[in-house]
Homo-oligomer: A and B are copies of this chain.
Amino acid sequence: MTSGLRFLIAAKRCEITELQQLAHTSALVNAVGRLVHGLQRERGLTNLHLASQNAQWEAALGQQILDSETLQAQVASCFEGMNVATARPSQGARLFSRIAYALQGMAALPALRRRLRAEAWPAERATAAYVRLISSLLAVVFEAADTAADPGISRSLVALFNFMQGKELTGQERATGSALFAAGQANAVAQQRLLHLIESQERCLQVFEEFASPPQWQAWQLAQHAKQLATLERMRRVLCTASNGAPLDRQLSQVWFDANTAVIDAMKAIEDRLALDLLELCETRLAAATAELATFEALNSQGNTSRFDPADDLSFFDQASPDLSTPASALSPTAPGFGLQLDRSILELVQDQARRLQSMAQELDTVRASLSERKLIERAKGLLMAHRRLSEEDAHKNMRQMAMNQNRRLIDVAEALLSMAEVLPEPQR
């Protein structure tokens, strides 16, 4: 009677399939990161070009579009190469739905470029279009982080997603500032937006710090050069402190673009490292799970009835052995089940496995809590935007103000807002 062992093996095979899919998703995230980087440059150059009509920007933009097209083809081929038939059903549905949305955006990109070449749109609208496309790509990464079942990998994906999101906000800052400089005039709305973007970047990097490994965090510290940071902060001050309508020196466009680009490029290098670490982690996990599976299968082929016949063994009912039916039992942790001994009973193997999966599930809850917080805050923000017709920045400012006034955390304010949603009137359309 080796039914228990059979399901132990099935459980391990499930873990391995999941890890293989995570490895593929990680490669996909890497390709998405490269495309996002290209689109961020394209957005910055588009803004400069739209605002200044300078031939220098036009040439750079043309080159960047060619690069973006190559990167887009790589992401598309990565998507197409996904084995949609064997994907995890439920999470698969959400991930695929995100991919379908991103693909719609990618398909519409040539039309967007043609429209922008014809200069039918103002710079703000161009920025917004690129923001939406990039955001649809980052949503794929968010979904991957939210659905990964291995807590270590989920942790890495959360760090990576927040870093990518932070980089995108830096990119938006670059685009917004570029448009301001190129227009040659300060603008209170754009300045407010800049401040919001700077603050949001910092929040993303805080989450990154929380979830990155110490070497990753250290690498990011080392990648930031004091001199570049000082230039960036000086330019930020010039931009944000000018009174509404005051002239801005168009000549500073290039300095602004370069200062932001230096930060973004440094971030790209770190992002590449994070993506590599993630792939390595997937492979380590995969190797460990494969070794365990081999041990289980060896046990299975031996029949393993030599030492323990469950029909004579009452240890399942032994009060001293942990009851694995309740989540509480995961409180007696043991070392993870690597290097299993062939002479252990199946019950012990089952107990180890159950304990390991339970403590993984607990750790996963902790990691996902940060994503849930993000979701709740975004949802509450969306509620305020819909009901009070506020911009995203204003909704965020509003919530932050409530939190300060009530001496509560932002997440508590978000929860309170959402719980009031049912009694609020229908949003104005």
- A324 interface residue per 8 A CB criterion: yes
- Contacting pair B8 A100 (CB below 8 A): yes
How far apart are the CA atoms of A111 and B1 in the complex, in Å?
A: 14
Known: A101-B354, A354-B98. A329 touches B14 (CB 8 A): no
- A218 interface residue per 8 A CB criterion: no
- Contacting pair A382 B331 (CB below 8 A): yes
Of all chain B residues, which has the CB nearest A18? B89
Residue of B14, B88, B101, B325 touching A101 (CB-CB under 8 A): B325
- A312 interface residue per 8 A CB criterion: yes
Residue of A90, A111, A374 most packed against chain B (CB within 10 A): A90
Hey, which chain B residues are within 8 Å of A7, CB to CB? 79, 84, 96-97, 99-100, 103
- Contacting pair B328 A93 (CB below 8 A): no
**Quick check: which of A37-45, A254-262, A273-281, A313-321 contacts chain B, the rest being far away?**
A313-321
How far apart are the CA atoms of A104 and B324 in the complex, in Å?
A: 12
What's the interface size class on A, roughly? 35 or more
Hey, which chain B residues are within 8 Å of A80, CB to CB? 3
- A51 interface residue per 8 A CB criterion: no
- A379 interface residue per 8 A CB criterion: yes
Interface string of A324-357 (1 = CB under 8 A from B): 1111111110000000000000110011011001
- A117 interface residue per 8 A CB criterion: no
- A248 interface residue per 8 A CB criterion: no
Hey, which chain B residues are within 8 Å of A288, CB to CB? none
- A323 interface residue per 8 A CB criterion: yes
Closest 7 CB pairs of A and B: A328-B382, A90-B149, A10-B84, A18-B89, A11-B96, A14-B92, A107-B310
30 contacts between A and B (CB under 8 A): A3-B80, A3-B100, A3-B107, A4-B100, A8-B97, A11-B94, A13-B84, A13-B85, A15-B90, A15-B93, A18-B89, A18-B93, A90-B149, A97-B353, A101-B325, A107-B310, A108-B314, A108-B317, A112-B314, A115-B314, A129-B317, A135-B326, A136-B323, A136-B325, A138-B325, A139-B325, A139-B326, A326-B378, A327-B382, A328-B381
